[in-house]
Chains A and B, each alone.
Chain A
Amino acid sequence: MVSYSIVDTGDSRSFPEDHPFLAGSGAEGEVVAYIGAGAISAWQEDLSRTAILVELHTETLGEVTGESRGEEGSNTIGFSRFRVGDGAPSDLVELVRQPHTDPAALEAARMVLEGAGLQVSECFDFAGRILDRLIRPYYNEALAKLDEGLATADDMDLTVKLGLGYPEGPIELLERTGLHHHHDVTQALFEVYGTRHYAPARRARVAKKRAKRGLS
């Protein structure tokens, strides 16, 4: 068992509710996890720890630690428990490393998270990590094709459920979890990658404008 403490800066997207990860923390530990919306600002370098975890949203780890010559990497590791918009967090945590991240730090971070019943996928430090980078262009296409009348929303959703075994179709998923959140994630990705597939789809822009006016 790896001992760990938590610095909770509030409004964690990864841990909005009780979870064994929160319950399992102590006062001091080999690992410290900064969680919440202020995690990045609260982060402090501490080489005496085996690992430091920092919760990320659309940010990258390099923004926390700084980068140089492609040789960055330390005992600080980024993490994000995957969720879409207002949907419940999944059991999947993306663990973000840099080229020279300490393998012992990665191992300790993995043990802490898996010990709390979560699954871990490791990735390098790119905007959108694994999941947002893969699914957002697909969601954008689905929204665009709905506009173009390729099929009804119901038929599109049904097609991926029956044909690919997905638990939910793209349109129902985005409407359930808040289309305006899709806007925010894709806007951030679009700023980084600049390709049209990340540009928020028209329907997401409309939802965002309405959300700004307090409408759903």
Chain B
Amino acid sequence: MTTIQTVGVCGAGTMGAGIAIVAARAGYRTVLYDTNAKALDRAKGQTEAFLAKSVERGKLTQAQVDTALAGYKTTDTLDGLAECDIVIEAVFENLAVKQELFGKLNDVCPEHTLFASNTSTLSITQIASGCGREDRVVGMHFCLPAQLMKLVEMSPGLNTSDTSFAAAWAFCEALGQKPVKTKDAPGFILNYFLVPFNNDVIRLIEAGVAEPADIDRAIKAGLGYKMGPCELLDLIGLDTQVLLCDAFYGVTHDPRCAAPPLLHRMVAAGHLGRKSGRGFFSYDTDKMYGA
């Protein structure tokens, strides 16, 4: 079985930066790769700030943080990933981009290197297709924000070998994360349930059944959810919800996955949620949620 010492992360955006923190914090040598140098600088800065906060909060010792940062590197060339035992990609959610990346990585990385994809909506089997090591590709879907959320949905593609999947699973546990196993199916578990549920909420508002505040109160008080669906949609971003709908409807043709007309109208009106100051609710601050 692959012994993992060095972890590569592709894409230094929201997810990649967080996943790299998880790997470095768990003591792995970590290489973060992006073609955009600014994204790398931002991720490095966020990582240092996050780890410093973890010391303040008593979650990590300064010595642990020093070790994590000593083993943390960034690179803007693929060759920088040549030493990795596993590479987790969190680049743009685009099949061609991910396929091309794995194809190139196949030439750069040693035989034993596992490839993992953090895709939310694409098929692991399709991402792996043609990369040259289909048996060593797994799905590893982290949750936002990766450095705080323990859950990882793990899925084997149709060609993934049992040993590769087992090695990736053991690695995920060694990261201190909590893996769950799902089939390589659209949205895995979380998004498969969440995206159409949120659409149903939008349709209820559109049909005039109830106001967003009443729906959120009902969900929180009736079911004990921490956040109401309208609040959550405003946080996810209504434009992102459209992208999720398009991705899922395209593969499932399930009417619940289709973007409701009200969602399109809100996006067209610039009501994107927290990021634009207005979605189902209004926000008079551009502070990040929870900040």
A residues within 8 Å of B by Cβ? 82, 90-92, 94, 119-124, 126, 129-131, 133-135, 137-138, 141-142, 145, 149-152, 155-156, 158-160, 162-168, 170, 195, 197
A164-B192 in contact given A123-B210, A134-B201, A135-B223 (Cβ < 8 Å): no
CB-contact partner of A138 in B178, B193, B218, under 8 A: B193
Is there an interface contact between B223 and A151, defined as CB atoms closer than 8 Å? Answer: no
Is there an interface contact between A142 and B193, defined as CB atoms closer than 8 Å? Answer: yes
B residues within 8 Å of A by Cβ? 143, 149-151, 153, 178, 180-183, 185, 189-190, 192-194, 196-197, 200-201, 204, 207-211, 214-215, 217-219, 221-227, 229, 255-256
- In the assembled complex, the Cα of A126 lies from the Cα of B215 at a distance in Å of 14
A159-B223 in contact given A121-B210, A134-B197, A150-B192 (Cβ < 8 Å): no
Is there an interface contact between A159 and B194, defined as CB atoms closer than 8 Å? Answer: no
CB-contact partner of A163 in B149, B181, B185, under 8 A: B149
- In the assembled complex, the Cα of A131 lies from the Cα of B219 at a distance in Å of 7
A163-B217 in contact given A134-B197, A151-B189 (Cβ < 8 Å): no
* A residues in contact with B223, CB < 8 Å: 90, 131, 135, 166-167
* A residues in contact with B181, CB < 8 Å: 151-152, 155
* B residues in contact with A130, CB < 8 Å: 204, 209-210, 214-215, 218-219
Is there an interface contact between B185 and A150, defined as CB atoms closer than 8 Å? Answer: yes
- In the assembled complex, the Cα of A162 lies from the Cα of B143 at a distance in Å of 9
- Other 8 A-B pairs with CB < 8 A, given A82-B222, A122-B210: A119-B221, A122-B214, A126-B207, A126-B209, A138-B197, A141-B193, A151-B180, A165-B225
Is there an interface contact between A163 and B190, defined as CB atoms closer than 8 Å? Answer: yes
* B residues in contact with A120, CB < 8 Å: 217
Is there an interface contact between A162 and B192, defined as CB atoms closer than 8 Å? Answer: no
- In the assembled complex, the Cα of A157 lies from the Cα of B149 at a distance in Å of 16
* A residues in contact with B227, CB < 8 Å: 165
Is there an interface contact between B185 and A92, defined as CB atoms closer than 8 Å? Answer: no
* A residues in contact with B225, CB < 8 Å: 164-167
